[in-house]
A and B are shown apart, each in its own frame.
Chain A
Amino acid sequence: MTAINDTLHITREPPKWRTHSKPFWDATREKKLILQYDKEVGKYQFFPRPTSIFTGKRRNLEWREVSGKGEVYSFTVVHRARPPFQGHEPFFIAVVRLKEDVQVMGNMVNCSLEQMKVGLPVKPYWAPLSNGTHLLMFEPDVG
């Protein structure tokens, strides 16, 4: 098993939200994942945008809670990073395709190099941030 840093001990600044992303960050306080859903076309979108990426009509957007389960679409093993990640390489950044058909980027926890692959089933891992919100990361969904 090749050790890959899970990045959990790295202190990160809580991201600054925008007016159209605040509901997302508020929901993470309770480790809930909510996505914007366009009720006219019946599709989800990520990351939070000021309008529907499908129709341009923001009035059709609503927030819906989802499981956050999905599979790895692609990934990279980071060997060179900037502070505060510098010196903590290697670590994963995965692009996860959620069951709701959106692509989300996140670090991977509890995952070895040997285990990591495109198609790996994953579930959310919520890393606490200093302002009470949580950062969405992922871990293998082993059943």
Chain B
Amino acid sequence: MGMKDTAIVGFAETKIVEKSDRDIWELGADILESLLDSTGFEKQEIDGLILSSSMTGSGNCFWSQTTADQLALEVDFCQTVDIGGCSPTAALARAAIAIDAGLCTTVLCLYADTQAAENNQRPRSFQAEWTVPQGVLGPPTSFGFISSRYDHQFGLDLRALGKLAVAQRDGALLNDLACEKLRKPITVDDYINSRMIADPVRLLDSVMVCDGASGLLVTSKKNAARKGLDKIVVPIGYGERTTYRASESIVDVTDTGHRVAGERAFKQAGLKPSDIASFHPYDDFIIAILLQMEMLGFCKQGEGAAFIREHEFNHLGDLPLNTGGGQISAGQVGLAGGGTNLVEAVRQLFGAGGKRQVKNTKNALVTGIGGIPYARNWSSSVVMILTPNA
């Protein structure tokens, strides 16, 4: 399997800020420099560049090319991945494919967005015609009706959801790179009493759009060995699904593409949910975590709240979850926000978690959620399983 011949040799993150006063390419340069420093690679050895989606970059239809030029990377393969919140993890998968196909050897996966400071998005989508005229705010509205439907079918357990919110916030308190505004302790009652955004979605269910960057340096396992890098992280299972149940007019919004993406990733990795050592689910809204627990098979559909009550999710718990705060408590770096979940998983497997280091580093599960379609849940779902030194 080609993907397993890939090695993540380095990870990097900037501080997440409410609004960046620095250019997005300067943040990208920070990531590049940090990765060169931590891995000992020369800039000239990087021959691939894969970017996540970016609201700032969406104003430039030559985004990967221009970014390569700004960073003076001479590459044999470049692209921007445009499946929104899935794009950082999907970029890693595409890096593995490109390396395996022999198109390039060493790829910079760069996840940068300054959506808060510079949103260049001009959507050509269904929204202007079909949802904006009804006052739809976008993701909060969708997660509002996903939550209401979940409540109708299974019941919504606010204390269980609040437990996830508190666990993630506790992670952000231990994460110096998390957005400072969010680094204040919260309780389950704070979660329940936070103001309504799109009933039943509350403020503390929701991400705050922020600015920042993260990235990975990815090469072949062979090249990593040649360079004497024994600390590596390897992708061993991946699943991706876009427009789940696209050929059906009526769908169950509590059933998501993670069901099929997860099956594929677990099968490829030869693992099952109970084998997972730490879990880094894409978290744009708290209920998305619960839905992913159900779809990935940690528990049955409708039993997410019971599963949450039975497990502990901080870095010392039996299922450490988004140990750096996730996006909800570290800040959502625009369309690059999935990099926060992904890089935290890699950091933990490198044993670089510091004050929040998890004990079990046998593997980590990372997911993505991308795009909000009409009257459904989300457009893209990705699932990736990583192991150290596989």
Contacts and interface: CB of A to CB of B under 8 A. Distances in A.
Interface of A: 7, 10, 12-13, 15-18, 21, 43-47, 53-54, 73-82, 85, 90-91, 93-95, 97, 101-107, 118, 135, 137
B148 A103 contact: no
B375 A95 contact: yes
Given A74-B149, A95-B145, A45 B249 contact: yes
A78 B130 contact: no
A44 B130 contact: no
B133 A80 contact: no
B141 A102 contact: no
A12 B128 CA distance: 11
Interface of B: 126, 128-137, 140-141, 144-149, 152, 195-201, 246-251, 253, 374-375
A74 B249 contact: no
Contact of A93 (B126, B128, B136, B152): B136
A80 B137 contact: yes
A19 B132 CA distance: 19
B140 A80 contact: yes
Residue with the highest number of chain B CB atoms closer than 10 Å, among A15, A47, A105: A105
Nearest to B130: A47
B250 A103 contact: yes
A86 B131 CA distance: 15
Given A17-B129, A74-B152, A105 B199 contact: no
Given A15-B130, A53-B248, A74-B253, 4 more contacts: A76-B199, A77-B198, A118-B152, A135-B133
A15 to B, nearest CB: 4
Contacts of A7: 135
A107 B247 CA distance: 26
A90 B137 CA distance: 13
Contact of B135 (A15, A93, A101): A93
Pairs A-B, 7 closest by C-beta atoms: A76-B144, A77-B199, A74-B149, A85-B135, A74-B145, A118-B152, A79-B196
